[in-house]
Amino acid sequence: MKELCVEYGYTSLNHVGEELCGDNVELCVRGEWTTLVLADGLGSGVKANILSTLTSKILCTMVAGGVNMEECISTIISTLPVCHERQVAYSTFSVIHVDNQGRGHLFEFDNPEAIWYHRGHTQDFPREELEICGKKVFHAPLELESGDMVFVMSDGTIHAGIGQILNFGWQRKEIMEHLDQNIDAHMSARAAACLLASACNDLYLDRPGDDTTVAAIRVRPRCEVHIMVGPPVDKEKDAIYVQHFMEGADKRIVCGGTTSQVVARCIGREVKTSFDFPDKEVPPIGFIDGIDLTTEGVITMRRLLALSEKYVSVKDLTPKTYSKKDGGSLLANIIFEEATHVVFFVGQNVNAAHAGLEIDITMKLKLVEHLAANLRRMGKEVTVNYD
């Protein structure tokens, strides 16, 4: 059985007119365990942001550190003040603590109930009610399978559309039906969370009446992608370099015309070039038997970096899967949506074809460095090898 791992992602909408979101998501990965906390501060703006940030950071640190869950929740409930007028806590929260095999726990305090996407359909968790410090907290043990997702959300989701498109907001049953109709089994947690948040924004007519956050985790098989960007400085090392690039990968990508020629020669194949231009600003792709994707170098990498900046933005609502067939979009689908581990093979040989152009080895190295940083922000495990 292929090794499993946990990926995560979230999207937040600010209450219209507010610079800060009253919801906050905190994430921590320690060893095989992933901890995600979504906290919703009462109201909106600065005060709500401070309270939700305080709640999520304390909870995430304690849970990830192995502190008993009841003690964690007891500490938070005892620490946070209660609104004297409404008699409700200033911050609600959902906590997911799960290992790479999908085993763990879900705890919820006053947030909308989490939704479980299991075997292609949404359903409820079997919950038990606990009383901690006089408060009702719900617990569900997690036994997730490969492909399962768990959605946690703030109450901005169920309030979406109130007084506008809908009379009583977006009911939980309708949210689950929307996910059933639109979630792809291979969709990443980030893409799925964005899809649901975007639907809420539509119901709010682009003017959210409440802070709205959707966070998701997904259990999925490990997928290691190798990317070769440039040949090594010492041409005598070409064969060894390509051998390392080919070994142990689930998918292989080659970026750069010279690089593709080196790879093709070392594996005994030839490079075939496409003459299609799906995007006039991105050079066409190529084809090498045994290589999953072959693209041009620096220009395509620039497009990929631009797409990664939008992908990691938790406020960007554009779809996180790409239907275009240009090299940048194809690269993004593999690296952002499919990969869990990314290994760069960065050759530092100077390309004579770039003489006189605004392209040099320093630019390439910076592109890889910035891209690697964004991939880590997505939760990918990234390794960069230089030669």
Strands 33-41 and 91-99: antiparallel
Closest to 114 in 3D by CA, of 76, 147, 155: 155
> How many C-beta neighbours within 10 Å does residue 204 have?
23
For 26: left if phi > 0, alpha if psi spans -120 to 50, otherwise beta; the answer is beta
The owner of tokens 């009383």 is 131
Q: How many CB atoms lie within 10 A of CB 241?
A: 22
Q: Rounded distance, CA 212 to CA 210, Å?
A: 6
pLDDT of residue 96: 97
CB count within 10 Å of CB 104 equals 22
All domains of the chain in start order, with CATH:
4-221 (3.60.40.10), 224-386 (no CATH)
pLDDT of residue 1: 63
φ, ψ at 219 (rounded to 5°): -90, 125
Token pair 């938070």: residue: 76
pLDDT at 166: 67
Q: Evaluate whether 271 touches 298 at the Cβ level (below 8 Å).
A: no
pLDDT truncated to tens, each residue of the chain (387 aa)?
Answer: 679 999 999 999 999 999 999 999 999 999 999 999 999 998 888 889 988 998 999 999 999 999 988 898 888 877 776 666 655 557 899 999 999 999 999 999 999 999 999 999 999 999 999 998 888 899 999 999 999 999 999 999 999 988 777 666 788 999 999 999 999 878 999 999 999 999 999 999 999 999 999 999 999 999 999 999 988 888 888 999 999 999 999 999 999 989 999 999 999 999 998 888 899 999 999 999 999 999 999 899 999 999 999 999 999 999 999 989 999 999 999 999 999 999 999 988 766 555 455 556 678 889 999 999 999 999 999 999 998
Q: Per DSSP, which regions of 100-196 are E strands?
A: 103-109, 115-118, 121-123, 128-132, 135-143, 149-153
Q: Is the torsion defined by CA of 57, 60, 66, 67 positive or negative? A: positive
Q: Give every CB contact of residue 116 below 8 A, 6+ residues apart in sequence.
A: 122, 123, 124, 125, 148, 149, 150, 151
* Straight-line distance from the first to the last Cα atom of the chain, in angstroms, rounded to the nearest whole number: 34
Q: Yes or no: say if 311 and 188 are a contact pair by the CB < 8 Å rule.
A: no
Q: What pLDDT score was predicted for residue 144?
A: 97
Entry pTM: 0.92
Q: CB under 8 Å to 88, separation ≥6 — which residues? A: 42, 82, 110
